[in-house]
Structure 1
């Protein structure tokens, strides 16, 4: 009886860690996309200013 509860606890911990990992992965991907688009726009402004 006690080992079944322990097994479930391990699964719950693994699921929570997996969710945290996915959230961090999603936020990093979104931040990278935002940085890339900002860099692209800065390049366009510099190009327009030079010409």
Structure 2
């Protein structure tokens, strides 16, 4: 869960990463082909690439 940043428009990246408005966290659909770890790494990559946040 991000402490300071809100990612309300992350859906625009079309990367299957979404923002939960009520609880303020990023998530992706339940993995089918990837492990949960790979999904987590994907979320990190999307944030770093699309939003230039590290």
Name whichever structure is richer in strand by fraction: 2
Flag whether TM exceeds 0.5 (same fold).
no
TM-score by length of 2: 0.31
- TM-score with structure 1 setting the length: 0.32
